[in-house]
Structure 1
């Protein structure tokens, strides 16, 4: 765990140095960052630069969290960057004013990495709905809404999410 005073090139480089000092050959490295807005989709350029610097330094997955809904996804140099995973289970149900974000819809992220290199081989996400502090399978139209949302962000973000026959979203890059 590390406190970073800011999302900056200097902070990314300092964190990368700490990771390099402890990561061994063949280790897969995931960095989880509490960042971003809670109710917006925009990813600031500083966050993109920060994530790219971490990947360039050997991080395999950048896991962003803080947002209460899914935010854009990027595959950079074959590495996964989740800019905001959204909540899984929380006690925000019934708080109004955020219906456009569909905060009841959640994703269980299921990345498959190459064990030897850390490269992303497959990205799936199981759509669920939270109701009364429980998770249940999302309806097909809800899964479609999530696929459209994730696939609708412009570059550099991943496009090509589709709902497979099993109801799980899969990234099929274009």
Structure 2
């Protein structure tokens, strides 16, 4: 992380191992140049997936309006430089715009997730209720069975109607 903003950093790992002579430590300096040298094969391997993704989308670098980098390794200056060279664009590492957009859609996402969870739970209740009514068969008194199947139909109708609130009202009561 230090090498994202500095040209060198100290690495100090005390007591990394022990020998008959006592504990051993690592205390060294790592330069950005050496780090990039150690990572060069990884950087070279970045090109292929990016080019493949564009090809699969029938796009070229000139079709891109903006390149947004996200994730830890995108802070590495060599990764940013590779993006500049490949795309001819300054990479956007500003994750604030994206955070604001995520916050903007958070309520909508929560509502969608709630709708999906509610439908899944209702489907499970439907399945379990029908299964129990079938397995118990004649052991269930007629009026109880009629009421059970009526509730199953109401819940099934609520699910097909797609209203999360209607589904909740049917299986919470």
Q: TM-score range by the shorter chain?
A: under 0.3
TM-score, scaled relative to structure 2: 0.19
Q: Which has the higher helix share?
A: 2
Of the two structures, which has the highest relative contact order with CA contacts closer than 8 Å and spacing of 6 or more? Answer: 1
TM-score, scaled relative to structure 1: 0.19
Q: Which has the higher strand share?
A: 1
Of structures 1 and 2, the larger Rg is shown by 2
